Amino acid sequence: MTALTTLLSPTAVRLGVHSPDWRAAIRAAGQALVDIGVSTADYTAEMIVNVEENGPYIVIAPGLAFAHARPSPAVLRTGMSWIRLHEPVPFGHDTNDPVSLVVALAATDSSAHTEAMAALARSLSDPAKAAALDQASSAAQLLALLEGDAAPAVRATPTAGAASHHKILTVCGNGVGTSLFLKNTLEQVLDRWGWSRHVSVEATDTISAKGKASEAVAILTSREIARTLGDVGVPVKIVEDFTSAAEVDTVLRDTYRV
């Protein structure tokens, strides 16, 4: 099993779910987590409050919402659910609505699930894989597709203190979910450019980002989180589709004027 399929139980994969609105869609994703013993109903409520307070930044790509909240006592163990909606519903996102897939994460801390998020980001950023996942007719078929995701080569770690070393922050409301998606997409682009030794990427939350901004050359985030951050003294770049290497490539070129 991969890191991703270890966290995603077959009984937490639900296809053709009827949801009248975005709150009901998140409740369905949260209930799947409750049913497999990952979290309590309180965590489901926390995921909904996250959107109410921070806006629909969890809609990280066209048709895809990544529901989550901060680690809390309501999380019993780290796990995920996968809810494909029978009919897409709007979350209020300017460009990525309506949502047909809700993937929910409950995490006990901010680091244990990073490998699984990297695998999920790779799967959803691959158009052929994403289309196959969308057509999967059962939990077994969907998990088999995710199981086929191979881990990439280990990235080189930039030398601490090197004069040419830069840092870019990817930011979301909680620092445990959507920012990791964007981090992995950005790292794929940096690998392709051959810049991995010179630029590191750190996923973090809005509060921490304000304190860390002075260490970074730029911040990449959603439109909603950019509004929350305000002026932090470094360029804040907006990415609409966190799974799009092409869009991130364009943003990175704009950041470095290349």
pLDDT tens per residue across all 258 residues of the chain: 567 888 999 999 999 999 999 999 999 999 999 999 999 999 999 999 999 999 999 999 999 999 999 899 999 999 999 999 999 999 999 999 999 999 999 988 876 677 788 888 888 888 899 999 999 999 999 999 998 754 444 444 444 444 458 999 999 987 778 898 899 999 999 999 999 999 999 999 999 999 999 999 999 999 999 999 999 999 999 999 999 999 999 999 999 988
Catalytic residue among 18, 68, 86, 113: 68
User: What pLDDT sits at residue 144?
Assistant: 93
| pLDDT value for 164 | 54
For residue 18, the model assigns a pLDDT of: 97
Which of 110, 135, 112, 130 minimizes the C-alpha distance to 120?
130
End-to-end CA gap in the chain: 40
Active site annotation includes 86: no
| Residues forming a β-bridge with 172 | 205
Residues 6+ apart with CB under 8 A from 102: 25, 26, 28, 29, 65, 66, 67, 82, 83, 85
* Among 25, 145, 131, 130, residue whose Cα is nearest residue 85: 25
